[in-house]
């Protein structure tokens, strides 16, 4: 039995917290699940409890660090999160320092989509620098960018927030207040609103199954959603030209039928453009690997912020 230090990844979602300990080969050796409470202080307490439960399962095997993937506007340097509406967090909360103080471990905090992008990069390009855009299609729509091997957070920490691009001027109002956002027409929530389905499978899975059975309304909605996602792939591709665009998030659990629909739209949109065809975007668009969750693995890979350098030390 190895005694090498393990990294903890905590994926904080709108309804549940998943915490895992991962070894040097990116394999899960322990995991804990809990309901997500509301409010910054409660989230810190729940994350702390999850770390202690992992410690109990691991019987004293040392932990090296904790990485947190959390929705909202994250400042990785400060370890703060703000505007995480589903978690009841508005003003910035210093979740990283608070969790570090309680666990005695270095803690890194990252936006959940960025963390999943780190995980997708590790899964798709193990051991070498990745260059990809991770397009998360879940309750919302957003992208995480790993460019030339580095996570691009952005000057205002909103890099990849393409879900609020207006793509359907006659579309429904988005939760952000704007009309016709990508997120309002092509997210898991947008699908659920237009194709509620029955209990059991997700609305997206039921939509794609009905379309495969030939239901004309399902085919129309499927192709509309896939068309918007194809436009998002094009946007990412012509903006930063990544090697790969990776489809992830809850809707991507539909799997190959989703990928096929998005690829068909990409091919159709390139039909009259030799330039567009030359980009081979259908081939560069892939599904996030299944098995270990990219969000969980990516959270464990979030590095704690580098210690700030004292001015005296520089001189």
Question: Residue numbers of the site for Zn ion (CB under 5 A)?
Answer: 164, 174, 176, 178, 181
- The minimum distance between CB 126 and Zn ion, in angstroms, equals 35
User: Shortest approach of Zn ion to residue 161 CB, angstroms?
Assistant: 9
Distance CA 263, CA 284 (A): 10
CA atoms within 13 A on the CB side of 292: 27
Provide, rounded to whole angstroms, the least separation between the CB of residue 137 and Zn ion. Answer: 15
Residue closer to Zn ion (CB basis): 4 or 176? 176
* Separation CA 106–CA 307 (nearest Å): 10
Q: Which residues contact 165 (CB under 8 A, 6 or more apart)?
A: 181, 182, 235
Q: How far is the CB of 232 from Zn ion (least distance, A)?
A: 13
Q: How many residues are present in the chain?
A: 315
Q: How far is the CB of 183 from Zn ion (least distance, A)?
A: 5
Q: What is the DSSP string of 111-142?
A: EHHHHHHHHHHHHHSTTS---EEEEEESSSEE
Shortest CB 277 distance to Zn ion, Å: 31
Shorter beta-carbon distance to Zn ion: residue 11 or 183: 183
> Which lies closer to Zn ion via its Cβ, residue 68 or residue 174?
174
**Between 83 and 102, CB nearer to Zn ion:** 83
- For residue 71, the minimal CB distance to Zn ion (Å) is 15
Beta strands in 13-147 (DSSP E): 16-22, 28-35, 63-70, 73-75, 80-82, 107-111, 132-137, 141-147
Judged by beta carbon, residue 181 or residue 251, the one nearer Zn ion is 181
**Judged by CB, which is closer to Zn ion: 94, or 178?**
178
Phi and psi dihedrals of 261, rounded to 5?
Answer: -65, -40
Q: How many CA atoms lie within 13 A of 210 on its CB side?
A: 20
- Tokens read off for 266: 């990409």
Residue 271's φ and ψ, nearest 5 degrees, are: -50, -45
| Residue with smaller CB distance to Zn ion, 44 or 162 | 162
Output 28 or 178, the one with its CB closest to Zn ion: 178
Handedness of CA 113, 119, 123, 128 (dihedral sign): positive
CB of 78 to Zn ion, least distance (A): 26
Q: What are phi and psi of 63, to 5 degrees?
A: -105, 135
Could you tell me which of 253, 293, 289, 248 has the C-alpha nearest to residue 20? 293
């Amino acid at each position: 039995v190895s005694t090498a230090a393990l990294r903890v990844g905590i994926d904080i979602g709108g309804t549940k917290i998943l915490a895992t300990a991962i070894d040097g080969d990116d394999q899960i050796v322990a995991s804990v699940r809990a309901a997500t409470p509301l409010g910054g202080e409660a989230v810190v307490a729940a994350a702390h409890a999850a770390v202690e439960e992992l410690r109990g399962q691991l019987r004293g095997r040392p932990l090296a660090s904790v990485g947190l993937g959390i929705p909202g506007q994250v400042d990785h340097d400060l370890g703060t999160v703000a505007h995480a509406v589903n978690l009841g967090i508005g003003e910035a909360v210093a979740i990283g320092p608070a969790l570090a103080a309680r666990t005695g471990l270095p803690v890194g905090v990252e936006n959940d989509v960025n963390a999943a992008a780190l995980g997708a990069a590790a899964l798709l390009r193990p051991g070498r620098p990745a260059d990809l855009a991770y397009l998360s299609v879940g309750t919302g729509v957003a992208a995480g960018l790993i460019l030339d091997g580095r996570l691009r957070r952005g000057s205002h920490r909103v890099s990849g927030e393409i879900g609020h691009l207006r793509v359907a001027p006659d579309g429904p109002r988005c939760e952000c207040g704007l009309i016709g956002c990508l997120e309002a027409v092509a997210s898991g929530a947008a699908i659920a609103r237009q194709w509620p389905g029955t209990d059991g499978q997700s609305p997206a899975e039921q939509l794609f199954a009905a379309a495969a059975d030939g239901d004309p309304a399902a085919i129309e909605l499927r192709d509309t959603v896939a068309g918007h996602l194809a436009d998002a792939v094009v946007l990412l591709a012509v903006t930063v030209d990544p090697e790969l665009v990776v489809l992830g998030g809850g809707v991507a659990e539909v799997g190959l039928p989703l990928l096929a629909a998005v690829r068909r739209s990409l091919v159709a949109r390139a039909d009259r453009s030799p330039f567009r065809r030359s980009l081979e975007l259908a081939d560069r668009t892939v599904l996030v690997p299944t098995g270990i969750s990219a969000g969980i693995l990516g959270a464990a890979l979030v590095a704690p912020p580098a210690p700030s350098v004292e001015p005296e030390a520089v001189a």
